[in-house]
Structure 1
Amino acid sequence: MMSFIPKAVFPAIVFASFSAQATTISFNDLLVKPTSDIQIIDCRSSNHYNGWAEDGATQGGHIPGAINIDANWINDLSPESLQALLTEKQIDASKPTYLYCNETGSQLLSSALKTQGIKNVSIIKESLQNYTGELEALPKFQYLVSPQWVKDVVEGKQPEFAPKKGYKLVEVAWGPPSKYLASHIPTALYLNTNRIESEPWWNRVSDEKLTEIIREFGIRYDTTVILYGRDNTAAARAASMMMYAGVDDVRLLNGGWTSWVNAGFTTEPLLNTNKTNVDFGKAIPANPELIIDIPEAKAMLTKPEDEQSLVSIRTWDEYIGVTSGYRYIKPKGRIEGSKWGHAGSDANHLEDFRNPDLTMKSAKDITRIWQKWNITPAQDVSFYCGTGWRASSTFFYAYVMGWKNISVFDGGWYEWSGDKSNPTNTGDIKPPHTVTF
């Protein structure tokens, strides 16, 4: 796990002096306080916040309304980055603030908050199991797995939501397996994304080719497929295709390779070739609605705005046409009628959806940015980016958030802009009317 030793930007002596000022309360004390008058911070791992139970606990999840700020992030944040994080999380310095996680973490976060002017901080030292109210969790948290869960599976244990019909662990990346060969999670196979995408648009390969690749990896429809990447957008791209094909149980390692390294777990070198060609057991694709093409995207845009969202998971500069985002994509702009779904600093990052440790941001955070653009779970929602990687990541996040009518628009901006007859737009644009849900 990441160390709790503070970095130089947060001197230990400052932490110690602030920590002594933190008061403690119980969960029972918290239950009697009006939720609108306080703010609660869950400083545990995002995996526990999402729904995975801690060791010895019978239930995972978080207190309703709690904000997730993992205390482990503090060590890797400058004061400026911490301030930006607190602003993004909408932390109100005037409100009483209550923290719950382990004692070391809560003291560390309490001290860090006080350096940012948040003085009224109390720590709950009890286990969350003492909380008598109902906890909230991602509706499908079990598909976004922790490194500890993967480790248990690899070691033959039976963790919560363990695979029922065997598993395949796969590292996914673009190009030859150079980093994989040096070090990877034990038992992991390797998938080069060039095998599942085809030129000229880098869309998915044919159903016949996809069937061949899935069989080669020894994957049946009832095999649990666990995916991760050095860049987890590659793993998400493969995840969307596995789900499209019809794999019933697709898991994504939350935070990807980085989370495994941060956990301090062992790795192994060289290539695993433990593949047995098997029959998938279903016709592929079993779920064709999960990946759509240009005709379906155009049909979506004919529906009223409140009924559909074709969502651009691209930077703001890509969306308004300042840049295409890619050296091989020349046209700039957006699909006319699409909504901005946020992304990150460039075409290779997704900071708007990821915590400092690269795990998925809370559903609360993601819902807030989509709500502004009238992107709601009741709609028919399809995500696109340049060629499908970023869109697949947000597709999977929406999936674990419980959104139902979702898909990836495979062609994205690259294929759409490749036909000049397809309507496009550039320039600044204001969000549509804001909705609540």
Structure 2
Amino acid sequence: MSASLLCASSSQNSQPTQVPALPIQQQQLLLRQQLLSCDGKAAAPHMLIEDEVHGVIEIPSHIEEIVNHPIFQRLKKVKQTGLLSLACKPASSHTRYEHCIGTYKSAQDLLAALKRNSNCERELPEWCRRSVEIAALLHDVGHGPFSHYWEQVCGEGQFDHELNGLLCVDRIFADMKCEVLRSLRDDNNGRGVQLIKALIIGQSELLTYPMLGLGYLFDIVHNSRSGLDVDKWDYLRRDNKRLKLLSDEDMQFDDVFLKARIALDGQRIEHRCEDFHLIYKLYTARWRLHIGAYQQPKALAFDFLLSKIVRRCQPQLIDVRADSKEWLDLYDDRVMQLIDNDPLTVYLRSPERWIESAPCDGNNEECICVRRKKTAPGVDMQPDECYPLYGDPSKKRSFERLTTPTIISACYALQ
């Protein structure tokens, strides 16, 4: 669920204004009154988005221009958890749009925490801050229909939503009118857009300039070194809010991010010794969501059937990418419309017609069988040395890593 309203801001460089927990319409009015009373001048419009995880998020005007772009608006029609809501978890109907907005806010929260907790003499340049926030906003803009399920439809290694997202970034910035966004695109050989794209895929090598003392920025959006990033921070909270699989205690790992700081050399993000066990708690929560929802056998079976149908009756969709005019029309409901005449599509709309049956050898045409191995949280979490720590080493709590994989296996007959 998300909703947006226009409100006011005194300048594009202002920090998000704190407003009390009032209904969004009252917050809009209060924020406008506060900002107008500061200088008495007419203010640039801002958007307020009501988010089920973060509350009310204030969107400055340059971010609003990106949010309103058709390529970003398309994410409203792409489910965050793909076919899961059709297969077995009806409440899981939230979208990539909501997750991307939430990841933008999570990046703001982490940047604020890093500034608060660190001893950095050098202020983060404003163009870098904006680039990090925009990378967080656009990190999933390249997802195909049904999110990660589409990668299975296209075939292993054939569709990379992050690389496709770089095409989306170029298309979005080519249309931008705001001076702030144009400067990220045009100034200093487009260093801002370069950084946005490098952060999305987690590769500093993509840059044509050095990030002296700012290497820690690559631990924020797509952390290819340890896996701890604001993408996970948002989607774990968001998905569990819908799925309700884990308790509040299971989800208590916010301090991993809120107590983090920048290393003295500026190259990494460090975490408190006393929070190290919470990193494992995060990976355990992620694993439990995989076992309890993302990789439920019926969800995997739905994925298999979708792949079979699309490849049989609409194979041209597999080749559509963000640099083609067809991209805006490639989303969940549109794909379902295009495959509607296939005799098997009815089973994607009727989960009650899937009857779990005895295991078979996988060659029975009347059955759909799935078998997958999910790695354990102790394996998904990187080795200890991948997580730079600070503080009192005696406060680092020990824990036993679960390393035994989970075998997911089931057979379904279609009635």
- TM-score clears 0.5: no
Q: Decide which structure has greater helix share.
A: 2
